[in-house]
Structure 1
Amino acid sequence: MKALLCKQHGLPETLVVEEVADLEPGKGQVVLDVKAAAVNFPDTLIIQNLYQFKPELPFSAGGECSGVVKSVGEGVKHVKPGDRVIAFTGWGAFAEQVLADAAAVIPMPPEMDFVTASAFVMTYATSYHALVDRGELEEGETLLVLGASGGVGLAAIEIGKALGARVIAAASTAEKLAVCKEHGADELLNYESEDMKARLKELTGGKGVDVVYDPVGGPFSEIALRSTGWRGRFLVIGFANGEIPKIPLNLTLLKGSSICGVFWGDYVKREPDNNIKDLFALFEWLQAGKLKPHIAGTYSLEDGPKAIRALMDRKVSGKVVITPGEV
């Protein structure tokens, strides 16, 4: 089989496509023929050896994919060869085959295509866990989404609207904000050209926002936290900006507010039953048309480095997907 390999830590341009041995499942494992694999922010870090998981070289990045079960190991009962499935692997999915733990493989909803399936669960489940479980977002509250045109940002907008919230989308260009509007944002804020603090005060009538969804980090995090209202909730999703902000904790005291960490990957491991309930809710919303995943583009395995680079340079609205197999 072919795989997009990281043979030395570095930037996407150092990745190479090579032939490697076919995979065989062990006990409790599943081998998939990969049809589509979404590119996520951790993929840009893992190839640089900057992520918390550090696989041995050489390896393929890619932690989220869809495909067809090729073979199963001893003890695997819930899927069988030929089944269409979604899998979460940590890494390894940017290849024609991937090995996954059976517990991380779920059947695809019959109406989903492979590209959408590969790009749906991680972003939407992260945002659902963040807004429903950690943020306790309620109908009628105001949600501010930073980095709103990215994959998790657009998911947060749609989930916020499904929950009945008023959503303010913040992004860096008019083009990105237009995508946010298409996905349901009520208000738009360009934090590169507008005074973010003044604009949020205006949009909330001085009350402040109830929940902040922040996958970006950097200099806008503190401004957003200062713009929360009484009992506001600030959700820490990630640091796409590359800068981990240092927040003055007195801000939480003055506003009676909370800073909540969101780590969906560990939530899945620690609370698998709750995660399954989340997925059922999301699949129902998808079927009802409340969620509309935005796929910005698909790339061949050979062009995989370009997909990772586009995400790394923050040129992507929604998700980009690598397609090692025919879809």
Structure 2
Amino acid sequence: MLDVRPPRKKVAVRVAVAQELTGIESVTVEESPPPPDPGPGQVLIRVHCAGVGPWDVGMLGGGFPGTTVPFVPGQEVSGVVEAVGVGAEVLPGQRVYATTFPTGGGLAEFVLADSGRVAAMPADTDFAAAAGLVIAAGTAHEGLIDRGRLRAGETVLITAASGGVGSCAVQIAVAVGARVLGVASLGNHGYLRSLGAAAVFDYHDPDWAGQVHRAVPGGVDLLFDGAGGQTRDSALTTIRDNGRAVSIIAQDPMGELERGITGDTFAARVDRQRLDALTALVEAGQLHPRVEAVFPLEQAPEALARVAGGHTRGKLAVQIVP
């Protein structure tokens, strides 16, 4: 059906923006010029919610080469299509979720996105939950399905299992039919079992890797690592000979592995096909978005500080449209 809404009024918009890459403290909420009209293959989204994550914190600290100022954080959004450029495959008025990684822009009332990275939101999903799915679940899905080649009946060990990516990884692995072991602090063990984890291990316990060995004497088939550092080093010892490991800690690559183990450190690139796969899981009741807290735009710096502090359960979102 032809969209007949009146032309968009171009007025100043609210954004959370950093004028220098010196950390979270550089983010302020202010007015910005209206966004341009979408070009070919672009979609202008009126943002209802944006997810925030470690990548935003890293960019604000200057940790991602190529990040320029002024910089608006927010790499994953949900909202309503305001306008489309030639060749875009969504319609004005459609409820969508999308990624703008690595350029950001999500912590604003409007954002431009490539149409190939925009998809219709899952049915009966609210905007905060949809925004929180994009990168977290997209990363988990790529790591487990494409790179980790996880199959039904296998055993997967997931570190940082209670975080945004980890909690999605647990659910996706369960949906595949795998046996899921999680690594998280003791207070999150019940939460992870509620997501379907068969067993959970406390990384504060110096013998946690030994406990995994005793639970799975032959070793796990796949390690999905979201922790890096010593936790990952210990987790690597639990993999069976000729097993597999994938890590999302790009700044801490695994290097050469032993015992025939193959390793892959990656940063996900979420596209419409990935989002459609997530939608199918959500609508089948196999993936439930977990949003720990929703902040108003004016409290975007507080949301980012919460991310930087770590130990979140699920995702954090910022609500743009009240």
Aligned residue among 98, 102, 106 for 1:93 = 106
> 1:49-60 counterparts in 2 under 5 A?
49-54=62-67, 56-60=68-72
Match of 1:215 in 2: 226
Task: Please give the alpha-carbon distance, in whole angstroms, between the structure 2 residues aligned to 1:297 and 1:144.
Answer: 27
Equivalent position SS for 1:234:
strand
Equivalent position SS for 1:34:
strand
Task: Please give the alpha-carbon distance, in whole angstroms, between the structure 1 residues aligned to 2:276 and 2:33.
Answer: 36
Aligned length: 307
**1:3 matched to 2:15:** yes
Match of 1:115 in 2: 128
- Cα gap change, 1:77 to 1:92, in 2 (>3 Å): closer
Task: Please give the alpha-carbon distance, in whole angstroms, between the structure 1 residues aligned to 2:112 and 2:93.
Answer: 15
Match of 1:257 in 2: 261
Show CA shifts across 1:239-289 (max 9, x none).
6xxx72665x3x42xx22100233321xx5xxx6xx61x443332221121
Aligned residue among 251, 273, 287 for 2:283 = 287
Letter of the 2:260 partner, please give it.
Answer: G
Superposed displacement of residue 104, structure 1: 2.1
Match of 2:33 in 1: 21
**1:155 matched to 2:168:** yes
Kept in 1: contact 2:137–2:169 (CA 8 A) = yes
Aligned residue among 287, 312, 316 for 2:308 = 312
Task: Please give the alpha-carbon distance, in whole angstroms, between the structure 2 residues aligned to 1:92 and 1:153.
Answer: 25
Kept in 2: contact 1:25–1:31 (CA 8 A) = yes
Equivalent position SS for 1:94:
coil
- Cα gap change, 1:153 to 1:225, in 2 (>3 Å): same
Kept in 2: contact 1:34–1:325 (CA 8 A) = yes
Task: Please give the alpha-carbon distance, in whole angstroms, between the structure 1 residues aligned to 2:278 and 2:44.
Answer: 26
TM-score with structure 2 setting the length? 0.90
**1:199 matched to 2:211:** yes
Superposed displacement of residue 119, structure 1: 1.1
Superposed displacement of residue 77, structure 1: 4.1
- Cα gap change, 1:3 to 1:281, in 2 (>3 Å): closer
Kept in 1: contact 2:38–2:83 (CA 8 A) = no
Kept in 2: contact 1:212–1:234 (CA 8 A) = yes
Once superposed, which parts of structure 1, at least 4 consecutive aligned residues long, lie more than 3 Å away? Answer: 278-281
List alignment gaps of at least 5 residues for structure 2: 1-12
Task: Please give the alpha-carbon distance, in whole angstroms, between the structure 2 residues aligned to 1:144 and 1:135.
Answer: 12
**1:79 matched to 2:86:** no
Match of 1:69 in 2: 81
Task: Please give the alpha-carbon distance, in whole angstroms, between the structure 2 residues aligned to 1:312 and 1:291.
Answer: 25
Letter of the 1:260 partner, please give it.
Answer: D
Superposed displacement of residue 12, structure 1: 1.6
Match of 1:31 in 2: 44
Letter of the 1:96 partner, please give it.
Answer: E
Equivalent position SS for 1:51:
coil
- Cα gap change, 1:135 to 1:246, in 2 (>3 Å): closer
* Identical counterparts, % of pairs: 32
Task: Please give the alpha-carbon distance, in whole angstroms, between the structure 1 residues aligned to 2:167 and 2:206.
Answer: 21
TM-score with structure 1 setting the length? 0.88
Between stretches 160-169 and 194-203, larger displacement belongs to 194-203
